[in-house]
């Protein structure tokens, strides 16, 4: 009886293992595909699911001849376009590298909205689809370093954004380190809250092994997770910012 029970249990165990392996390697079914843009070489750089179940997409609307604008597309959960917005003037190079939704139906975009900013860097822009004026958080602000900004992440109180520096920065650091910045929207200030090495020993021919810090809040919005490689090994680190966020 014990032997028979053991045999059945062992058989069930292996069947379960096989089922798990099959599930893990199963190819997901495509629910839908959509194509957005015009006749030129438009590009999509970032997509995020929004609180209504749809998606927000940022990228480049290409006019041809190296002229482009920031392309922002809002869709429903099936990918059908609800609205599109184009920011920047034809004749100036502009691009939206990353987009994140805020808690007041707005969005923060990392990119260049030439000719609105003159430093040609990756600035943080607050954009609302209701027609409100576009607001730059990092342009020509003596309290904010005029450097390239990376992946932004909103704090739920709407006051703070964390972002990281980018390798394109002309940083004052020469030791391969970079920073996590905490931007206070109300005060219009920025402060480096983390400085850590993120330059790997070998970048690759196309910088395919680069390590971007890409900070992100945890669910309690006290901790921030980030990528770095201070000992030449890529790792994930956690920083406690509870004392920094009011």
**Per-residue pLDDT, 218:** 92
Q: What pLDDT, in 10s, does the model give residues 196-227? A: 888 888 878 887 888 888 899 998 999 999 99
Whether 57 contacts 99, CB under 8 Å: yes
- 194 pLDDT higher than 50: yes
Ramachandran sector of residue 63 (left: φ over 0; alpha: ψ -120 to 50; beta: rest): alpha
pTM score = 0.73
| Tokens representing residue 123 in the block | 């600035």
Arithmetic mean of pLDDT, 152-168: 81
> What integer pLDDT is reported at residue 152 of this predicted model?
85
pLDDT at residue 5, rounded to an integer: 42
C-alpha atoms less than 13 angstroms from C-alpha of 79 in its C-beta half-sphere: 8
């Amino acid at each position: 009886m014990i032997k028979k029970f053991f045999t059945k249990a062992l058989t069930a165990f292996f069947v379960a293992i096989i089922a798990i392996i099959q599930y893990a390697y199963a190819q997901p079914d495509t629910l839908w595909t959509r194509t957005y843009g015009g006749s030129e070489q438009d590009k999509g750089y970032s997509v995020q699911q929004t609180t209504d179940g749809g998606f927000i997409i940022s990228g480049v609307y290409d006019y041809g001849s190296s002229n482009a604008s920031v392309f922002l597309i809002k869709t429903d959960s099936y990918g059908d376009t609800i609205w599109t917005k184009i920011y920047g003037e034809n004749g100036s190079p502009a691009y939206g590298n990353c987009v994140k939704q805020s808690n007041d139906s707005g969005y923060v975009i990392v990119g260049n909205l030439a000719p609105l900013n003159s430093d040609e860097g990756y600035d943080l822009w607050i954009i609302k689809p209701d027609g409100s004026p576009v607001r730059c958080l990092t342009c020509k602000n003596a309290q904010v370093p005029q450097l390239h900004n990376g992946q932004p992440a909103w704090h739920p109180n709407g006051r703070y954004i964390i972002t990281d520096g980018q390798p394109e920065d002309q940083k004052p650091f020469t030791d391969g380190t970079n920073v996590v910045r905490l931007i206070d929207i109300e005060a219009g200030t920025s402060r480096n809250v983390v400085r850590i090495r993120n330059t790997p020993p070998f970048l690759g021919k196309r910088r395919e092994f680069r390590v971007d810090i890409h900070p992100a809040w945890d669910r309690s919005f006290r901790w921030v997770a980030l990528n770095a490689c201070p000992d030449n090994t890529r790792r994930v680190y956690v920083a406690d910012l509870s004392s920094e966020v009011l």
